[in-house]
Structure 1
């Protein structure tokens, strides 16, 4: 078991947390969880998260000579396998005169490392980080506690946020869990707590990349409606099929636990997220009502996913993202559309009050 600070690249630092099995690497910038790894049955260490082939290694996009390749997006430049999206989940959005970057300040800012260490009593290795709003018209203070404990193949995270202003603030919140090769491969099986689903509206980033019908509800992942006649099975990963799609899934109000999983039956490994369900969420908690799937299966023939405009999409990954949001369409659309599948799309942060979101991501091997 260990906790340590490392310099990944020049002016790019991270914290490594580990126990006897699991290891995680959390970069300061964006709180990007670049690695969540464990041992497979053969004793090899497998990272469940994708290290995107286009992942930038410089200090920042502003200092990158090839910034247009990333569409001048700092988020894409630093993109990691999992990260917190707050208070925006989706593309750039302007709400009440405040400009929110794609996936929020939590994903685009450098988190301040407050403390890190090991707990003598429990054996937990932990990292405490903080973030202050960069916009005085949307004032908040946030803290994030990441920890691993002995014998648990799990990264536990608590996110606390305080509205430091004098009026309520609407917010999205999401965890952008994404798995990639070598863990992700065709034949992986997807399960989740959601029991009803909906495809994106036509006016979304998936209009020109997807195969799914627009704005259609369905209740079986194995029978998702296509734009052409028929259905497809979203519960099994098909491999690189030339499409990138999205689906939002509604977690039942009766659920005490929200969760999603990706199982690799060949490697006998499972990636699992879990969090407080709607039925037992306390008043001071940020509830999650949605399991979302971002199926990045080769539908983006443009940079940085491809080498050049019109080139082959080289990025194969699967997002199993959990949220309170309107699809992943950003805070403005969530404010304008108060519900989706009967659930709220925003959380309202009362002035001078604290809210918390507790979350866990596990990765481990299993025996058949």
Structure 2
């Protein structure tokens, strides 16, 4: 594997250049090393042992990657989640900055005629990866999403910035009980994330990741109008840490959750892909054609694609981070925050017990209040 690693004080990130996936991320803080990103168990296995029709993005499934388009590539021929998640990237530039490290990668292929760059920035003493993707030129429109994945040994608890609603698509990911299983109702929607319709007729709390529910589920959360960054916080129980994912809602108005906990029985999943959560911030519907046409999100007033044009570029930004949580016995152990706010070079985290914690954060990076290109 062709892996490139960049580092700053207290943080490192590795990129699998074969597919552009972030293959690893490590955060060193308070004497602990945190590993917030997931790597599929088959990534190190010999390719000939895996199904031959697997997309390269699934063969290398790890960390985070850019989907362009998200889901089906049914406008321009490409594998699931597009060439950005399935084909090689090159290092364009990489070097130290005044306070950390920055690297730029370029996709070898073009997407709808557009060149695609990935800029990763690490800052000394910051426990966050700051990402930007830039599309230059092209024509038509493209749907996009980040695809960060984390994994838990014993489940966790989730909290979110204010959401307008949550909805599942028309069909589950694994409708055939001979191949897998699911727990949510399809289609369904709810404005109460603690009481989402379940397949058995009851309800499930979307903030509770339970390991005893074998399932493969997918749903979309629509950001409410609240004026701050969009965020998802996951308190992992066994790992005793907090995984944080942030976005500018004007750029990426939806957050999709992929809950993968032993819910697929066929290779390479084979019931062993457990405790995995995808926190997928995007500007998309399910599939490229659906994103460009009429869809339920557009009817809710939510943008599902970026316009491309020759002589123009567009960009969007995203942040992934991790923090240690209090050791066993604290009232905050295993609990996500009540709220997250950013400003003046800090992130302010309001904990479950009402205490406040401040950490270094580039509060200008997400450019809250700036409109996204159409």
Matched with 1:150 is 124
Give 1:213's aligned residue: 185
Are the structure 2 counterparts of residues 146 and 193 from structure 1 closer, same or farther at C-alpha, using a change threshold of 3 Å? farther
| Residue aligning to 1:332 | 289
Say which SS state the counterpart of residue 334 (structure 1) adopts.
Answer: helix
1:249 and 2:249 equivalent?
no
- The answer on whether the counterparts of 1:52 and 1:315 sit within 8 Å (CA) in structure 2 is no
CA-to-aligned-CA distance 1:29-78 (integer Å, 9 cap, x gap) = 2221111222465x3423111221111466xxxxx33342x643211111
1:210-267 alpha-carbon deviations (Å, 9 max, x no partner): 2211121101221010122110112011014221101100012443312111112564
Equivalent pair of 2:155/2:238 in contact (CA under 8 Å): no
The residue aligned with 1:65 is 48
**Residues 1:186 and 2:155 are matched in the alignment:** yes
> Which whole-Å CA distance do the structure 2 matches of 1:335 and 1:25 have between them?
33
Question: Structure 1 residues 304 and 181, CA, compared in 2 at 3 Å: closer, same or farther?
Answer: same
> How many residues get paired?
321
Partners of 2:77 and 2:282 lie apart in 1 by 21
Distance 1:240 1:297, change over 3 A: farther
Q: Deviations over 1:73-95 (max 9, x none)?
A: 21111111211111x1013x321
Choose which of 295, 298, 307 in structure 1 pairs with 2:259. 295
Q: C-alpha distance in 1, partners of 2:173/2:238?
A: 33
Q: Normalized against structure 2, the TM-score is what? A: 0.79
User: Are 2:7 and 1:18 equivalent residues in the alignment?
Assistant: yes
Displacement of 1:172 in angstroms is: 0.9
Structure 2 Cα separation of the partners of residues 102 and 28 of structure 1: 18
Q: Which shifted more, 249-258 or 316-325?
A: 249-258
Aligned to 2:38: 50
Distance 1:253 1:339, change over 3 A: farther
Cα distance 1:57–1:304, how it changes in 2: closer, same or farther (>3 A)? closer
Counterpart position of 2:362 = none
Residues 1:169 and 2:140 aligned together? yes
Q: TM-score normalised to the size of structure 1?
A: 0.81
Corresponding residue of 2:274: 315
Q: d(CA) in 2 for partners of 1:181 and 1:235?
A: 14
Per the alignment, do residues 226 and 54 of structure 1 end up closer, same or farther by CA in structure 2, a change over 3 Å counting? same
Alpha carbons of structure 1 residues 106 and 314: separation in structure 2 relative to 1, 3 Å: closer
Identify which range, 296-305 or 256-265, moves more after superposition: 256-265
CA distance in 2, matches of 1:195, 1:338: 17
| Aligned Cα root-mean-square deviation (Å) | 2.1
Task: Provide the C-alpha distance between the structure 2 equivalents of 1:90 and 1:56, rounded to a whole number of angstroms.
Answer: 24
Change (3 A) 1:265 1:354: same
- Structure 2 counterpart of 1:90, from 71, 79, 91: 71
